Amino acid sequence: MAQSNNFKIVSLAELKIILDQFVFKRKIVSLHIHHTYSPDISKWNKNPDGMYWQRVMERYHIGTRKFNAIAQHLTLLPDGNFVTGRDFNLTPASASGFNDGAFMIEMIGNFDKGYDVLGGKQASAIYEFCSFFVEKFGIGLEGIKFHREFPGAGKTCPGTGIDKNTFLQSVMSIRKISQQNELKEAIDIINNAKIITDKALWMGKANTDINIWYLLTKTAKYLKEKGINK
């Protein structure tokens, strides 16, 4: 049985860097969200060791399910950190018939109603990750898929306790906050380059008009690359 040597526990910030540096050789069109069901949070609390559970899942996927590798690209731990899994350039074993172009993440927990509740650091990590991911791959919120949405899934995954609309609203509000931060950074750069003079006015706009985000962040990126930002 070929175990992966590449599993690594990373923070969200580290994961973003890894994803930005990774050379994707396949087109990513969707992000598939799952819960592990088992281990659930109570099992995790008894043994909060991300690498241990990643290996348990890997053994199950390779040994019992006869997959070539662990099914998922990432596992999200209850503490908000992630464990890397399957090679990002390999198609996941996520939802039969819908795996092409998918990127797969498992969240440790059983989020069916009456069991675990997605919350705390784990919840903010998945919302922030989704926000980052849809932006990076330009797939939009419609690119976020719950396992149960696929015909024939026959599962409640990622749990009946997670409502899709509420989930997407949380992703959207995180996205808005990070866009506002990016926008303010961009305005700073554009102001330093003396392209605008009324910085305060633009900063005010940043809180209300997210539509200027695309143009201004691209402009700032261009200025930064050309070194015209000081």
**How many other CB atoms sit within 10 Å of the CB of residue 96?**
10
Judged by CB under 5 A, the stretch of 13-21, 33-41, 51-59, 202-210 that binds Zn ion is 33-41
Helix, strand, or coil (residue 102) = strand
Q: Which is nearer to Zn ion, 93 or 174 (CB)?
A: 93
Report whether the peptide linkage leading into residue 92 is cis, meaning its omega lies within 30 degrees of zero: no
Print burial letters for 185-214: b (CB count within 10 Å at least 16), e (below 16). Answer: ebbebbbebeeeeeeeebeebbeeeeebbe
Q: Which is nearer to Zn ion, 96 or 207 (CB)?
A: 96
Q: Which is nearer to Zn ion, 73 or 147 (CB)?
A: 147
Q: Please report whether residue 34 would count as binding Zn ion according to CB under 5 A.
A: yes
Please give the single-letter amino acid code of residue 169: Q
Nearby residues of 150 by Cβ (< 8 Å), 6 or more positions away = 95, 97, 98
Q: Which of 147, 167, 170, 191 binds Zn ion (CB under 5 A)?
A: 147
CB of 111 to Zn ion, least distance (A): 11
CB of 155 to Zn ion, least distance (A): 6
Q: Please report whether residue 61 would count as binding Zn ion according to CB under 5 A.
A: no
CB of 61 to Zn ion, least distance (A): 12
Judged by CB under 5 A, the stretch of 73-81, 132-140, 145-153, 190-198 that binds Zn ion is 145-153
CB of 31 to Zn ion, least distance (A): 13
CB of 102 to Zn ion, least distance (A): 12
Q: Which of 19, 107, 157, 206 binds Zn ion (CB under 5 A)?
A: 157
Distance separating alpha carbons of residues 116 and 159, to the nearest angstrom: 9
Distance separating alpha carbons of residues 117 and 109, to the nearest angstrom: 8
Judged by CB under 5 A, the stretch of 28-36, 59-67, 85-93, 176-184 that binds Zn ion is 28-36
Report whether the peptide linkage leading into residue 48 is cis, meaning its omega lies within 30 degrees of zero: no
Name the site residues for Zn ion (rule: CB under 5 A): 34, 147, 157
